[in-house]
Amino acid sequence: MPVPKRPSRNHYRGVVMRRNSADPLPLMPEDEQMAKAITDLYRQGVIVSERSAQYIFDKFVEYSKAEAELEIISKGNLEFDLHDLSGQRLDLELREHLNHLSIRRFVELILNNAVKAKQSAAAIKRHQEHYSMKHQVFGWLDINFQNYKSMDATAEAIAGKLVPLKFRTVRKWVKEYKDMHSAGRV
């Protein structure tokens, strides 16, 4: 009887044995491994692009709030060029950090910020009357606060008379005024 040949190493390549099982599991072909590696690199690129988009957005906000650094260059014959140096730096940052992956997130950040700014402006507009009444009460308190023995008495003198608000709201404002006054912020 002939002795069976031992299988070569190449025989087992591409096959992994399951523990406690006789069924082999095929290894991922090299193409699938390459595809997985490329997918992982892409995902890492998206994460880096997210950071780049946030960085550029922060620079964009900073640039929008700052005064322009202007440089005037004489061209001769009473002609001048005006350069915004901070704008040029922002342009360089944009070129360096924005790409096809990060531009989408950058635009999302701008749009989200615009929505928040509109909502904030709408809230301020909605509560403008309330703010003006509070300002009026604080002005009255600057003059008359020391004439009352308690915050409740002060609120009673204001509520429904100076402003068309209930005692509870005015009492809260009187306390806020007193706290600000004692902290030296008024």
What pLDDT, in 10s, does the model give residues 125-163?
888 899 899 999 999 999 999 999 999 999 999 999 999
Q: What is the DSSP letter of 159?
A: B
Going by pLDDT thresholds of 50, 70 and 90, the confidence category of residue 75 is confident
Phi-psi region of 156 (alpha: psi -120 to 50; beta: other; left: phi over 0): alpha
Whole-prediction pTM: 0.41
Per mean pLDDT, which of 33-47, 62-76, 83-97, 120-134 is the most reliable?
120-134
How many helices, marked H, and strands, marked E, lie in the chain? 7, 4
